[in-house]
Amino acid sequence: MMLFWLLLPPLLMFVASFSQNIWARRLLPISSFAVLIPVAILFRLPKPYALWRDYLVADDLNTYILLLASVVGIGVTLALLTLDRHVRIGQKAIYRFYRFFGLFWVGLSVSILANHMGIFWIGLEMATLSTVYMIKTNHTPAAHKEAWNYMIVGAIAISLVLFGIILIYASAKPLLGEKAMLFDALLHSAHRIPSPFLFEMGFALAALGMFVKMGFFPMNLWLAHIERAAFYPVAALFSGILESGVMAGFFRFSQIAGTVNYDHLFLFVFVYTLLTLFIVAFLIFRAKDFMRLFSLSGVEHMALIALFWVSGGTFAALLHFGAHAFLKPALFLSTGVLESGGRYRFAGALRGYHGVRGKLFWFLVGLFMLAIVSLPPSPMFFSELYGFGAMIDNAKASHHLLAMLGAITLLLVLLSVIFYRFVAIYQSMKYEGEETTKIVYASEVAALAIFALGLVALLLPGTMAFLKSIG
């Protein structure tokens, strides 16, 4: 029953998209808000809580991720109300967008709650396929090309994940039978897996597929190009929900891989994320439009989250994850207004706002721009402090302190490059360029305010204590 209530808002969205009634569209944000009720109840239930046999099981980790994804879903539903006022889109295309958004949300909710590798994959594939059409809603040759690109690269990435899952299943099936598909059963029996090498091969392939989906090395630019070509809510969904779902899978797989052989897991993820950050930092430095800038910044943060997680900084990773899940969709949704003066103009993007709504908009966007580069009191400031602390603790335990200090220095240099670029862009947005009047709608400010409240909530002692308890 609980599962039904959790999936009801996206299913309602799917059904309402067929009616093509303007009132149905206006009621969707309210129905989306309703998802918070079952999520709140889920928080209070004893964990682990079986939603559907052993297949979908809620624990503290995935309930937290589900809450983040639900808030992003609500924010995007609000922002979608004014999509047609910022971009050229027909009514039929809008309703189709809602239809695939509903499917996407269902797929990712299933994926996040999955305790079963196969169901995790099915949800992810469903979300991937529904995204293809959301990209295509923009009727331009660039969007058409990127929709096909997404279909093909996404299919390759997701196939790698399935490939990895099959190998993991093959490695543990002699011991666990069909239960070798369950994350919790694998975690409990990780020490006894008969073929650890086969498991690690499977994990490496699955992780590679998930990394490709998140835009890690060597596919750093494919997401940025797709998000540039699609309408801005697609990018918000990617960064807020899709990447959360993929990262939830990475958390699950890496927990098991860490039990099988922690050193191998750490080295693999450490080298991969450092390489990704090295390339992304310079790509961010060269970014010339908001979409690519935010998209590449998303890759940077996902790499940091993965790095903190495998370093043992669970709290840091989850705090960073929460902050990113709120900040990035907020920034992507604001591009609908920020790019009023043209796609490639940073200068003056934060000028020309009048009235309470306008002033609130530029204040919130300014806040988000500075929060994403970890200026205090952004939750990212604290998560990075805790994350680097966890890396040093990890190095002390493994007698590789000097190497780790070198890596952290390199990381800080790369993060400084990103910091410098963001601050320069912020100054250009606020103090340079011509002032042209921009229109901000109430639903957009409401969406941004929800994300700002989410960020504040992350800093509350109760939230911090909850995140620490997950670790």
Partner 1 sequence: MVDFLIGLFLATLITALFTTRLYRLLFWYALNSLTLGLLALTIGSRLHDRAMLLSGALTILLKAGVIPYILKVLSRKFELVRQIPPSIKTQYAIMLVPAILVFTFYLAEPISHMVQGNANYVAVSISSLFLSLLLMIEHRNVAPKIVGFLSMENALFLLGTTATEGMPMLVELGIFFDLLMAIVVINLLLYREEAQS
Residues at the contact surface with partner 1, assessed by CB under 8 A = 55, 116, 118-119, 121-122, 125-126, 129-130, 132-133, 136, 139, 144, 147-148, 151-152, 155-156, 159, 162-163, 166-167, 169-171, 173-174, 178, 181, 194-195, 197-198, 201
Query: 285 burial class (0-12, 13-18, 19+ CB within 10 angstroms)?
Result: middle
The alpha helices in 114-231, defined as continuous H runs, are 117-136, 141-176, 183-188, 196-213, 222-229
Is 55 or 363 the residue whose CB approaches partner 1 more closely? 55
3-state secondary structure of 269: helix
Asked if residue 79 lies in contact with residue 229, where contact means CB atoms within 8 angstroms, the answer is: no
Nearest approach, Cβ of 130 to partner 1 (angstroms)?
A: 8
* Residue number with CB closer to partner 1 (103 or 223): 103
Sign of the dihedral defined by the CA atoms of residues 335, 339, 340, 343, in that order: negative
Residue 301 class from Cβ within 10 Å (0-12 exposed, 13-18 middle, 19+ buried)?
buried
Identity of the residue, 159 or 428, whose beta carbon is nearer to partner 1 in the bound complex: 159
- CA–CA gap between residue 227 and residue 256 (Å, rounded): 32
Separation of alpha carbons 13 and 36, rounded Å: 15
CB of 195 to partner 1, least distance (A): 4
Residue closer to partner 1 (CB basis): 174 or 218: 174
Q: Which H/E stretch holds residue 361? A: helix 355-372
**Tokens describing residue 245:** 């779902």
Q: Which residues of 354-386 are buried (b: 16+ CB within 10 A; e: fewer)?
A: eeeebebbbebbebbbbbbbbeeebbbebbbeb
Least distance in Å: CB of 276 to partner 1?
Answer: 22
Main-chain phi, psi angles of 45, to 5 degrees: -75, 150
Query: Which residue, 121 or 294, is less far from partner 1 as judged by CB?
Result: 121
Q: How many residues does the chain have?
A: 471
Using the minimum distance from each CB to partner 1, give the nearer residue, 133 or 232.
Answer: 133
Q: Least distance in Å: CB of 96 to partner 1?
A: 8
Shortest Cβ distance from residue 267 to partner 1 (Å)? 19
- Pick from 57, 35, 33: which is nearest to 45 by CA? 57
Residue 99 C-beta: closest distance to partner 1, Å: 10
Work out how close the CB of 136 gets to partner 1 at its nearest, in angstroms, rounded to a whole number.
6
Shorter beta-carbon distance to partner 1: residue 42 or 157:
157
Region class of 431: left (phi > 0), else alpha (psi between -120 and 50), else beta:
alpha
How near is the Cβ of 415 to partner 1 at its closest, in Å? 35
Cβ closest to partner 1, residue 155 vs residue 347: 155
